[in-house]
Every structure is written in structure tokens, then in C-alpha cells.
Amino acid sequence: MQHMTIKSTTVIAVVHNGKVAIGADGQATMGTNVIKNNVRKIRKLNEGRIVAGFAGSTADAFTLLERFEEKLSAYGGNMKRAAIELAKDWRTDRFLRRLEAMMITASKDEILIISGTGDVLEPDNQIAAIGSGAMYAQAAALALKKHAPQLSAEEMVRESLTVAADICIYTNHNFIIETL
């Protein structure tokens, strides 16, 4: 199974000074065409205790978000356990393994990246990014954490998304940011 790189959007999460913020741009593309510029790619789950963001096919991501919510319910809101169980299903289920998306999930003190290849990753530096603009946003967030620690997690996410949107053609400046 070949790993697919998600080539649209930017989603980034940052834990900083006891707060977590996750944000995404709002652009939806089909090929090289912008179809919509205000898609909401961030969702609060588990009665607002967990936030998830997605990159990839919208329909596929909604399917995965629904499955993730089911796993959260089944495992008492334990985000890490729910993520591991979703990743197992995603990799082995005949229907799910065809889904083309990635997710970031965040609670108030941890971030996870979940992929269809069975990965559940806790990123270093409490920063996670996915999508085509991920590396731009991640680099900006790392620099902000190091050189502007007085900023809030939300401000770091906003600035990081701005950097990505200025560079990545699949990322726009219509941001949705949620904090915990």
C-alpha cells in the first residue's frame, strides 16, 4: 500500500502554556480549481473536550470523524485509545482503507496525528501539522515557540496558518481556529 500525500489544505495544532489551539484554512479544491473558500475543517467532539481537524477528501474525512466519535464513546473519551482503534480499523477495513484523509486530534494537553496507514503519532514540540501547507505552518510554529513564547497557542496557530496561506496555493486566509 502506497502512502498518499494529502495535497490540499493546512491544519495545525499547537499546545503552548497550558492551552491547545487547532486551526485550518477554508479552501476546498478539485484538481487545480477552488470550489469553495469557507469549508469548516475543524470540529469539536466529546462534548467540547476534544477538537479534530482534517485534510483530504471531505466526505472521507466526515466518515472518519464519525468513526472517531464512535470510538471516543466506546472508550470513555480516551483520545489516544480511540485514535489507535480508529487507525487499526482504518488500515484493515475494506471500506475504510480506501478513504483519503488525515486527521489531527487534540485534547487540552496532547495532540495526535492519525493516518490511514495505521499511524498514530504524538508529534515533538507539541506541534502537529497536516496538508499541503503543513511544513510551512509547522516551521512557523516552531520559530514562534522559540522566539515569541509570549504569544498564545491561538496566536501561534493564526500566524502559522498565515505563513502557509502566503506560500501554499491550496491554502487560503479564511481560518477557523478552536481552542481548549
d(CA 172, CA 38): 9
3-state secondary structure 98-156: HCCEEEEEECCCCEEEEECCCCEECCHHHEEEEECCHHHHHHHHHHHHHHCCCCCHHHH
Residues 161 and 108: their CA atoms lie apart, in Å, by 20
10 backbone dihedrals φ, ψ, rounded to 5°: -140, 130
> 158: part of which helix (H) or strand (E)?
helix 153-167
Cα-Cα end-to-end distance for the chain? 36
What positions carry a catalytic annotation? 9
Residue 12 bridge partners (DSSP): 23, 129
Set of cell numbers at residue 19: 492551552
